[in-house]
């Protein structure tokens, strides 16, 4: 069954330029640094532009701006937690202003925004009831993959409603595929409230996380010689994971260091993910086009979100 909701869509989102009717609205939420406080743009930009640019006239894509900051890492300086909260508010407003079937599209921090909004719906709140699917590229809360124990660096995300969700993640991208006991998880836990705007709050929340054993690795950490031996392995693993996240070329003054393992977190629009040469973003676009042709499946009878799979390159290097 195909969705034909153009007559229900509001004029501002229901037609593409030239008066072409659309069937599905795509709301895209970008990653850290791809948006900024007060971002009122409508055109999709950043990583997710590679997805929406490959869609046909059945889709109307729209950007959802928010701070997209991680403390001092991006414009604005607000903490990751505060940035996500602002993104959730903006995405809810965008959903309220959009009628007809909607697909949510997220990249990196934007995935966390999408997950939180869908989590509200899963908890019974009347939020995004017209969302028929979601696609998440490098989700920091990506579930454990089927073939190993790697998962998103931020740990478990909110519960999801019974709609199809597609995850796309490179196996060497530590944001979505960190090892189970990765030391990078400790960094993520300790910097979630990092902000130069409110350093006292960051200190308070960090102390609470440490004192309350609320960090992901707390149950696996103790003062014991076996732990020290294990930590040597964890340090080596963390070094590999960080190398995969850093750029392929590192420069400091006149020093240039090549990092062939690097750039995995930003590879989704450029690196082939299968033998056909399709990129990760291209695979998301293909999935959306297929769903628009045959119809998004109805809510899963189990009440759980069916995981459609974490796509990884067949020839990842």
Q: What pLDDT band is residue 94 in, cutting at 50, 70 and 90?
A: very high
Alpha-carbon dihedral 69, 73, 76, 80, rounded to 10 degrees: 30
Q: Is the pLDDT of residue 257 over 80?
A: yes
The pLDDT tens digits for 262-312 are 889 999 999 998 889 999 999 999 999 999 888 877 765 555 555 555 555
- pLDDT at residue 314, rounded to an integer: 42
The pLDDT tens digits for 7-60 are 222 223 334 444 445 589 999 999 999 999 999 999 999 999 999 999 999 999
User: If you write DSSP's letter for every residue of 51-119 in order, what string do you get?
Assistant: HHTT--TTEEEEE-------GGGSTT---HHHHHHHHHHHHHHHHHT--S-EEEEEETHHHHHHHHHHH
DSSP H or E segment with residue 15: strand 15-16
- pLDDT at residue 313, rounded to an integer: 52
Q: What pLDDT band is residue 227 in, cutting at 50, 70 and 90?
A: low
Which of the residue ranges 9-13, 76-80, 112-116, 239-243 would you say has the lowest mean pLDDT? Answer: 9-13
Sign of the dihedral defined by the CA atoms of residues 243, 244, 249, 251, in that order: negative
CA atoms within 13 A on the CB side of 129: 4
Distance of alpha carbon 285 from alpha carbon 59, whole angstroms: 11
- pLDDT at residue 13, rounded to an integer: 34
The residue whose two tokens read 């995405």 is 91
CA 37, chain centre distance (Å): 19
Of 14 and 69, which is predicted with more confidence?
A: 69
Of 186 and 210, which is predicted with more confidence?
A: 186
- Please say whether the structural domain 11-179+265-311 has been given the CATH code 1.20.1250.20: no
- pLDDT at residue 135, rounded to an integer: 96
Which of the residue ranges 9-18, 38-47, 66-75, 214-223 would you say has the lowest mean pLDDT? Answer: 9-18
- pLDDT at residue 148, rounded to an integer: 67
88: left (phi over 0), alpha (psi -120 to 50) or beta: alpha
Strand-pair category, 165-168 with 307-311: parallel
- pLDDT at residue 228, rounded to an integer: 60
- pLDDT at residue 3, rounded to an integer: 21
């Amino acid at each position: 069954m195909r969705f034909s909701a153009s007559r229900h869509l509001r004029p501002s989102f229901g037609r593409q330029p030239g008066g072409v009717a659309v069937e599905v609205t795509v709301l895209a939420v970008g990653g850290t640094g791809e948006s900024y406080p007060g971002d009122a743009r409508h055109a999709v930009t950043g990583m997710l532009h590679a997805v929406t640019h490959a869609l046909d006239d059945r889709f109307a894509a729209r950007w959802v701006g928010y701070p997209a900051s991680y403390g001092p890492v991006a414009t604005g300086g607000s903490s990751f937690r505060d940035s996500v909260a602002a993104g959730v508010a903006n995405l809810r407003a965008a959903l309220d202003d959009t009628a007809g079937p909607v697909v949510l599209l997220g990249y990196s921090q934007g995935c966390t925004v999408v997950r939180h909004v869908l989590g509200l719906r899963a908890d019974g709140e009347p939020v995004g009831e017209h969302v028929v699917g979601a696609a998440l590229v490098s989700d920091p809360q990506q579930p454990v993959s089927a073939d190993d124990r790697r998962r998103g660096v931020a740990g478990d995300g909110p519960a999801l409603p019974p709609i199809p969700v597609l995850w796309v993640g490179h196996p060497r991208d530590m944001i979505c595929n960190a090892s189970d006991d990765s030391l990078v998880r400790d960094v993520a836990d300790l910097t979630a409230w990092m902000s130069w705007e409110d350093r006292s709050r960051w200190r308070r929340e960090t102390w609470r996380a440490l004192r309350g054993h609320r960090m992901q690795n707390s149950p696996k950490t103790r003062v014991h010689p076996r732990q020290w031996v294990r930590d040597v392995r964890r340090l080596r693993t963390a070094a590999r994971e960080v190398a995969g996240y850093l750029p392929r070329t590192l420069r400091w003054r006149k020093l240039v260091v090549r990092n062939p393992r690097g750039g995995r977190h930003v590879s989704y629009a450029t690196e082939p993910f299968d033998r056909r040469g399709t990129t990760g973003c291209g695979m998301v676009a293909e999935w959306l086009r297929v769903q628009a042709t045959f119809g998004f499946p109805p809510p899963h009878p189990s009440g759980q979100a069916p995981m459609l799979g974490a796509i990884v390159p067949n020839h990842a290097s």
